[in-house]
Amino acid sequence: MSTDHKKKWFVPVMLVVATSSVGCRLVPRNGPAPEQVAEARRLSNLGLSASDAGDLLRAEGLLEQAVDHCPTDVDSRKHYAGVLWDRGEKMEAVHQIGKALSLSPGDIDLCLDGGKMYLQLGLLDDAERLANEAVASAPRSSEAWQLQGQVNLARGKPIDALANFQHSLAFQPDNRDVLRETAEVYRQLDRPKRALATLAILEETYGPNQVPADVLALEGLAQESLGRPVDAVESYRAALSKGDAPPETRDRLAALELEEPATTLR
């Protein structure tokens, strides 16, 4: 066989192999069929709409169907976990987040969602593991550092928590939740001046008369620590006027009014 004849025979064979290879990449042999993915996304969108409308029972059913249609769809599992959590099915929600993370290890949103769930359940080892994964995956994420701080605070490590919250604020200085948590840490560390300074920054993010009751109550505690009973009474009263102040606020106000009756006239 001549060399030219060999070349003419070889080229078409290579074209067939290449074409077959591309076809395999477009339609993976072991992955879900395109129609399964499309149906899962359709059901997932319907489930999210039902959740937004407050129909959590219907949302749960639709998202469960979405996961059944395409078990490898990470978003469907994530949304399913969120609805399960809102429905009070806490452990199943955590299970679904775990499944999603096995499909997408290190996913920042999944780490944050799962970490918050574990934290609320008091499963601090698991919460810490996901918080560390979140920071490793997204070291510039304010939420990742916040979660790590919350875990350290729950473990009774306020100094470590403070460092985490300061990292968080470096990336999102006006994060109200982190500012509130930072002020609380300063209070626990008996640094009331820093607590008040942080609360002042937090209060500037609200409009007139919009500061929440818990922030005003925390302000009162810091003022008490600084020996400013008149200012503390004013803060406690403002907190109670909101109608949703922490339970101890009324007790703190009553104690101050007994100690300093004159403050009630101011």
- What amino acid is encoded at 93 in this protein? A
Which residue intervals of 121-156 are DSSP H helices? Answer: 124-137, 142-154
Q: Is the dihedral angle over the CA atoms 27, 30, 33, 34 positive or is it negative?
A: negative
Instruction: At 141, list the tokens.
Output: 């994420």
187-192 contact pairs (CB < 8 A, 24+): 187/218, 187/221, 187/222, 187/225, 188/158, 189/158, 189/159, 189/162, 190/225, 192/221, 192/222, 192/223, 192/225, 192/226
- What amino acid is encoded at 188 in this protein? Q
Around 254, how many Cα atoms within 13 Å sit in the side-chain half-sphere?
Answer: 5
Q: Give the Cα separation of 17 and 174 in Å (integer).
A: 57
102 within 8 A of 76, measured Cβ to Cβ: no
Q: Which residue has the tokens 């820093």?
A: 194
Q: Is 26 exposed, middle or buried (0-12, 13-18, 19+ CB in 10 A)?
A: exposed
Q: pLDDT tens digits for 55-94? A: 999 999 999 999 998 999 999 999 999 999 999 999 999 9
Q: pLDDT tens digits for 93-115? A: 999 999 999 999 989 999 999 99
Q: Give the Cα separation of 202 and 47 in Å (integer).
A: 36
- pLDDT for residue 30: 57
pLDDT at 13 over 80: no
The rounded mean pLDDT for the chain is 87
Q: pLDDT tens digits for 158-212? A: 999 999 999 999 999 999 999 999 999 999 999 999 999 999 999 999 998 899 9
Q: Is the dihedral angle over the CA atoms 236, 237, 239, 243 positive or is it negative?
A: positive
